[in-house]
Amino acid sequence: MVLNEDSLPRSAVAVYSGGMDSTVMLYRMRELGIEIKGALSVNYGQKHSKELEVAASYCRELGIPHKVADLSGLQDIFGKSSLTNATEEVPEGHYEEDQMRSTVVPNRNMILLATATSWAISLEAEAVAYAAHGGDHAVYPDCREAFATALDAAIRLCDWSEVFLYRPFVRSNKAEIAAMGERLGAGLEKTWSCYKGGAAHCGRCGTCVERREAFHLAGVEDRTEYLETAPSVGDLVKSGWKL
Reported as a single tens digit per residue, the pLDDT across 79-118 is: 777 667 676 676 666 656 566 666 666 778 899 999 999 9
What pLDDT is attached to residue 243? 57
pLDDT of residue 81: 75
DSSP string, 183-230: HHT--GGGS---TT--SSB-S-BHHHHHHHHHHHHHT------B-TTS
Give me the pLDDT at residue 2, please. 45
**Closest-CA residue to 28 (of 218, 211, 170, 229):** 170
Q: Which fold has domain 11-238?
A: Rossmann fold (3.40.50)
pTM for the structure as a whole: 0.90
Those residues of the chain that have pLDDT short of 70 are: 1-6, 47, 82-83, 85, 87-88, 90-105, 134-138, 237-243
Is there a contact between 44 and 108 (Cβ–Cβ < 8 Å)?
yes
Task: Report the pLDDT value the prediction gives residue 1, as an integer from 0 to 100.
Answer: 38
Cβ partners under 8 Å of residue 127, min gap 6: 3, 9, 11, 12, 13, 120, 163, 164, 165, 166
What is the per-residue pLDDT for 85?
67
